[in-house]
Structure 1
Amino acid sequence: MGDNSLKFSSYITDDNNNTMVKEFILMAFSDIAQLQKILFVTILLSYMICISGNISIIIFIIIDPLLHTPMYIFIGTFAVLEIMFVTVTIPKLLDNLISEKKSISFLGCFTQLYFFNGLGITECYLLAIMAFDRDLAINNPFHYLSIMSKELCFKLAGAPWIVGLTISLLTTFFTARLKYCGPNKINNFVCDAAPLQDLSCSDPFISKVAILIAAVFAVVIPFIIIIGFYIHIINTILKIKSSAGKKKAFSTCSSHLIVASLYYGTAMIVYITPVGSQLDKFLALIYTVLTPLLNPFIYTLRNKDVKSAMRKSKTLIIDFLSVSVFH
C-alpha cells in the first residue's frame, strides 16, 4: 500500500491524459543503509569545517588592509563561491541520509541542477582568471598594480558568475523541457543532467548536444587557458637565476595550482566514470565535499599573508576579551 501511494503521489496527469513526473527520488546511498549514519556524521563535519573555513578567509581578507589586493579579492570571491557550491548539494544529502523521504520536487531538482552546474562552471572560469592574475604578477611585476586596477579586478571577479550562470541556464532549459513520465529514481545524491536525460521518455538528443557544446565552453576552454598560463609561468620561473627568486615566484602561485589540480582532477574522474556505477557516487563526494573542504586549508597553511592575518585576528580577539572581562 505504501509503495503504491508513493508511486501515485510522484506522478501527475497532464491535459492530454499523459502521466508526468512531479518529483524525483534521489537514491543516494540507500543501498548501503549500514553506512548512512557514518556518512551523515562525516559529511556534516566536513560541511561545517568547509563553511567555517571559507567564512574565516573572507573575514581575514575584509579586516586586514594588507589583504586588500587583487589576489586576495579573487581568493575571497572563490571562498564565497565554495560556500554556495557545497550548500547547493550537501544539506539535501544530509536530509536524505537520515530521512525516509528521499524525494525532491521537479522544480527543486532542476533548481539544484541549475545552481550545481552554474556554480561549477563559475569555478572553472574563476580559476582561469586567478591563473591570469598570477601570470600577470610574475611576468609583469612592475606594472602589475597599474594594469590590475581595482575596477578591472572586480570586473574579472564578476565575469565568471555571468558566464557560469548563463551557460547553466541554457543547459538546464534544454534538460527541463524533456518529458518525464517515469521512472523517476536517480541513482545519485544530486540532480545532474546525464541521469535526468536517461530518465526522459522523449528524445534527449538536443539536450545532449547542448550539454556537449556547453562542456567545451564551460570546462575545456578554461582548462586550456589555465594550462597555457602555467606553461608561461613555469617558463618565466625557469629563467630566474637565483633559487631564492624561483622559490619566491613559485610560492605566489603554488596554492592556486594545487586547488586547480584538485578541482579538475576530481571532476574529470567523476565524469569519466560510467553513469550509474556504484563508485561514481563516492567519487562525486570527493568532488562536492572533500575538495571544497581542503581549499581553505591550502590557502591558509601555504600563505604567509593569510597566516599573518589570522595571528592579528587572534590578538584582536584576545585584547577584546581581556577588555570585556576587566570592565
Structure 2
Amino acid sequence: MDPSSYTHSLLSFVVVLVLSTPLASSQLDYKFYDSTCPNLTNIVRSGVWSAVANETRMGASLLRLHFHDCFVNGCDGSILLDDTSTFTGEKNAGPNRMSARGYEVIDAIKANLEKSCPSTVSCADILTLAAREAVHLAGGPFWSLPLGRRDGTTASQSAANQQIPSPSEPLENITAKFTSKGLEMKDVVVLSGAHTIGFAKCSSFKQRLFNFNSTGKPDPILGSSILNDLQSTCPNQDSSDSNLAALDLVTPNKFDNVYYKNLLNNSGLLQSDQALMGDSNSAAMVNNYIKYPYLFANDFGASMVKMGSIGVLTGKDGEIRKNCRMVN
C-alpha cells in the first residue's frame, strides 16, 4: 500500500475530531502551516509510512517518543537533543536508554521538510504529527491537531528520570504524574490504551513472572497460559532482559480496544496496565472502552490533543531547529 492509497483507505475505525475541538492552547492553531508549509501532513505521513513499512514496530515507537517528550518539561522536542557540553540530555535517562527509538525517522522527515519549507516546522510539531500518523496507519483514529509548537533549547536527564511514569509504579503514583501535567485519571486510562500496539522488553515486566513483590512466586493475577508463554519468552536470566513481548498478545499490530479486553482477562503485560483493574473508577472506564470501541477511539484523539498541549513553547519562545538533534 502506498501513502496515497493509505490516505483514502477505509480503516477499521476512523474518528475525525473536527475543527470545533477545543484548542489545547489558544496559541496553537489548526491552520498554522497552511500557507508556510502546505505539504507538511503529506511529508510526515509519507515518512511514517516508509518507516512502518520497513518495521511494523516503529509506529508504536514513534507514539511513545511523543509521550516521553511531552512528559518532560512539555512538548518541546527536547527528547531529540543529543548531549552537549552544557547539558546532559534525555536520551540516556532510565526510561529512554536502550528503549526510546525512532530518532532517525524524525531526522528523515525533518530533512525532507527542510527541503520543502526551510526553518519552518518545529521538531516538536513533527513528533506530534508523526504520533498521529502512526496510530492512524495501525487502524486507529485520526484527529485534528493544533500546531505551532516551537523547539526547546535544552534538555534534562534528571527531569526525564523523575517525570516519566514507570511500568512498575503504583497507579496512584502514575496518576499523580499525569495530574501534575494538567491531565486526569481518564487520560491515564485512555492513553494507556496506546499499549494496544508495540512491544516491551522483558526487563520491564519480568519480575511479575518469577519473583513478584519479592515473594519468589509469579504474580498471582497472571493466568497460567499467558504466564507459561511469557516465561518461555523471558527466561529467568539476565540474558533475556532485552527480549521482546507484545503489549497486546492478541492483536499486537492493530490499534483497537483489545488491550482493554486483555485487562479484563488478567492478561495485561505491564504491572501498570493491569493495575487499571484494581481501581473502581479506572476499571469502569476500561469496561466502557470494551463495550464501545468508538468511544475509545474518540477519547484517545481528545487525550492526545490534550497531552500535546503540555508546556508548549509558542510565539518567540524556543526556536525552530534546523537539525532535531541540536540547537541552532
TM-score for both structures, normalised by structure 1: 0.27
Query: Which is greater in Rg?
Result: 1
> Quick check: which one's helix share is greater?
1
